[in-house]
Structure 1
Amino acid sequence: AKTVSSHKGNIKRKIKTHNKQVIYHVVRLTDNVTNGIFVNMR
C-alpha cells in the first residue's frame, strides 16, 4: 500500500510540474501575440 500511495504522489507531482510548464508556455504565447498585435496596430 505504501509503494502505491507514494507512486500516486509522484504522478501528482509530475502532473503539477507539467501544468506549470504548460501555463508558462501559454503565458509566453499570449505575451508574444499581444505584442505582435500592438506592433501591427501602430
Structure 2
Amino acid sequence: MDPTDSSLSLFCGKSRSQLKALLWEPDGFILLSKQLSNSRYWKS
C-alpha cells in the first residue's frame, strides 16, 4: 500500500477514547486527533 495515494487511515487507541486520522496531501501528511473525555467510540 502506497502511503502517498489518496487514502485516509484511521487509528484508535486501546481504550477507544482517542481517534487519529492520517491523510496525505501534495505538500505532506495531515494528522488529525480527537479524544473523548467520558466515552468510547465503539462498545464491545
Provide the TM-score with structure 1 as the length reference.
0.20
The structure richer in helix per residue is 1
Which protein shows a greater Rg? Answer: 1
Q: TM-score, normalised by structure 2?
A: 0.20
Which structure carries more strand by proportion? 2
Name which structure has the greater RCO, CA cutoff 8 Å, separation 6+. 2
